[in-house]
Amino acid sequence: MKADNENLGVVFGIDLGTTNTCVARYYGKKFEVVEIDHSLTVPSVVAYSDGGEWLVGWPAKNYSKIDPEKSVSSIKRQMGNTSYRKELGGSLLSPIEISAKILEYVKQKTEAKLSLQMRDVVITVPAYFNDYERRSTLEAGKLAGFNVLRIINEPTAAALVYEVGQAQSATSVASSAIGTQEEKWLVYDLGGGTFDVTVLSARPGQKEVLASCGNKFLGGDDFDRKIVSHIVDDIRIKHQLDVHEDAVVLAKLKHMAEGLKIALSVETEASINEIIEVNGKRLPINLVLSRKQFEEMIYDFIDSTIEKTKEVLREANCSSKEIARLLLVGGSTRIPLVKELLLSHFGLEGQDYVDPDLSVALGACIQGTIVSGLCFEKIVIDVVPHSLGVAALGDLDFSEKEHGFALDDDDDDDDDDDEEDEEDENDERADPIHAMKKRHPKTFSPVIQRNTKLPAKFVNTYYTAMDHQRHVEIAVYQGEAKNTRENLFVGSFMVNISPSPAQTPIDIGMEYDLNGIVKILVAQKDKDSPVLSYRMDLNRPAFANSDAASLRKQERDWARDDEDDDFESDGDSVEGDHNLEKVVKNLLVQRVEDRLTAAKDHPAEQMLARYKELLGSETESDEIDALEDALYDWLDRFEDSELPSHPSLQSNLHAHLPANGENKLQ
């Protein structure tokens, strides 16, 4: 193997796919796909044989036909699942560890074939992956022994290779540029397990992503399952056998289904003539499937990609008539129905420039030359994959159903759930981050919207909720859901503020760079206090992005629960924290008092007085809940019963959605 100094000028790109993995390298001013095990792609399958041997790639895929319980495929779909574990070789492996085994295998094979060290790499991910899934991919790369230069979106990589790959070999491309005019490109990427669609502005040497959209759980695997279900039904009808729970039989049928799918991309019908063993008996499988039948099975899947394509065009403020090139990426784009629907809905025909199974790895390799400084004439401008913002007190926290902030995700208070609640509490103590998320408000307030061009800088103004408030917890989330519980928790930190009246404005700004580093700025308006700065790395887990004060608050919450009395915080702890539920109740009182000033409604005055009396006693009762319901009903009768117009902050960052999220940070 060559020494490190002989590896200079060599960069690798890896398409870590759901069904297949592909490796490309840059060497001698040329980009080429590396052949591994006599194939340009390696199945993304890991297995542990009865003989105690780890198997990856083709050996693992073949082994999975006879022992599916000791193999795992499509692990990419589990990258965001923190609870997923697969027992292999006597160990419970996470998606990161399984992915690392795939990467270790291609590293070993590539190094043996090329006789040089495989070190600097760019790894691709679906454009719609959130930052936890991206950093999980990064972690898998590091675990496999790589120096991961960058994580790049698959559609962006495919667009990069188009510029240098048109009219070149399907397995290699020369370093040359084409075209002179600025164009808009649409990249439609339908692979084995994920779907992405991206609109780019392309000019010689520069690609600028305008918008991306997708579905992390849609691809060829789903099409295979439809065919498997069809075969299972055929067996039930012809042989009066139900095999839908037989793992070994289903594994064999999946391989048959994959063969049928591939054949139907070029033929109008395909057949199976196989014999499988069921319960010790040899069972003949004879079936003919037409392309029309197959297309009927998967039509809804493909139609959903058309809707996503329409969505991304709207977000890019672009019509299909403005699209100069449609780039098809991923093996599933070989299915004729895909091209037919794209043509009928958008009038676009796909460009054949590089094998759709290889283009992403080649593009990742090109990105590697850009990042490592081997190529200076190309620029890639990407976008924020998911909105970034803060947990905020808003509509969801005042929902009609809850009438206040819920401290957990369960709305069922039945006694039957006590045992489950106790288990949840134990889980929370083992995972303080989970408990932290439950104490944050439900409403998500975006600061930087998805598809914003990177690097991005924006600021929103919020307002304090309580008089004499001294602290604010900035809880950062990422995602598109209005509910923080459905988004990715990035991290949190505490900020000291000068005690002021309620509704004091506070600015929160975010700077988001290409490397996933977010700089958060907090400034109390109309005060002499300095602008505070905090950094979060989206490549790190939420625990690493949360400061000690924020974590200590969770410990104090547990201490209050354990002691069942007032908890005295130490000198280093955050003082003056208010229970979220108490804040919501106080805001309800404020809203009713504001309305009573104009309404002069004596019955409501009496209800409010009794409600405040019960709140002062600090005892829970059914009467409080009943009064809350009545007061909210009374508020709903007013046409102007909207939530307070000002966003508000409390010790756990309470805010209504700002009216304007487009204020650029200066």
Which pLDDT tens digit goes with each residue over 618-635?
666 677 777 877 777 776
Indicate the average pLDDT of the chain: 81
Q: What is the pLDDT of residue 374?
A: 76
- 408 has a pLDDT exceeding 60: no
The pLDDT value given to residue 417: 47
Q: Which backbone phi and psi does 578 adopt, to 5 degrees?
A: -115, 140
Q: What is the pLDDT of residues 45-55, one digit of tens each?
A: 999 999 899 99
Question: Is 274 strand, coil or helix?
Answer: strand
Which two three-digit tokens encode residue 201?
């502005």
Q: Within a 13 Å sphere around the CA of 196, how many CA atoms are in the beta-carbon half?
A: 29
Per-residue pLDDT, 437 = 83
Upper half-sphere CA count for residue 374 (Cβ side, 13 Å): 22
CB count within 10 Å of CB 53 equals: 11
**pLDDT of amino acid 515:** 74
- Residue corresponding to tokens 């495989």: 118
Inform me whether the pLDDT recorded for 83 exceeds 80.
Answer: yes
pLDDT of residue 383: 86
pTM of the model: 0.72
Residue with tokens 């793992």: 247
State what percent of residues in the chain have pLDDT above 70: 76
**pLDDT the model gives residue 653:** 42
The helix-helix angle for 548-563 and 432-439 (nearest 10°) equals: 80
Amino acid 132: pLDDT: 85
Amino acid 578: pLDDT: 44
Kind of pairing between the strands at 443-448 and 388-392: antiparallel
- The DSSP line for 337-393 is HHHHHHHHHH---EE-SS-TTTHHHHHHHHHHHHHTTS--S-EEE-B-SS-EEEEE-
Render pLDDT for 6-15 as a digit per residue (tens, 0 to 9).
Answer: 556 789 999 9
Range 398-419 average pLDDT: 43
Whether the per-residue pLDDT at 326 is higher than 90: the answer is yes
Q: What is the pLDDT of residues 534-576, one digit of tens each?
A: 888 887 788 888 887 676 665 555 444 444 444 343 433 333 3
pLDDT the model gives residue 396: 78
Query: What is d(CA 637, CA 626) in angstroms, rounded to the nearest whole number?
Result: 17
Residue 662 has pLDDT above 60, yes or no: no
Query: Which of helix, strand or coil describes residue 433?
Result: helix
Predicted pLDDT at 642: 43
Within 10 A of 597 (CB to CB), how many other CB atoms are there? 7
pLDDT at 470 over 90: no
pLDDT in tens, 590-611: 667 766 665 555 677 878 888 8
Structure confidence at residue 174 (pLDDT):
47
The pLDDT value recorded for residue 45 is: 97
pLDDT at 104: 98
Residue 203: which pLDDT band, with cuts at 50, 70 and 90?
A: confident
Mean pLDDT of 420-445: 67
Mean pLDDT of the region 236-260:
92
Q: What is the pLDDT of residue 553?
A: 60
pLDDT at 391 > cutoff 60: yes
Binned at pLDDT 50, 70 and 90, residue 168 comes out as: very low
Angle (nearest 5°) at CA 519 between 550 and 666: 130
Which secondary-structure segment (H or E) carries 58? helix 58-64
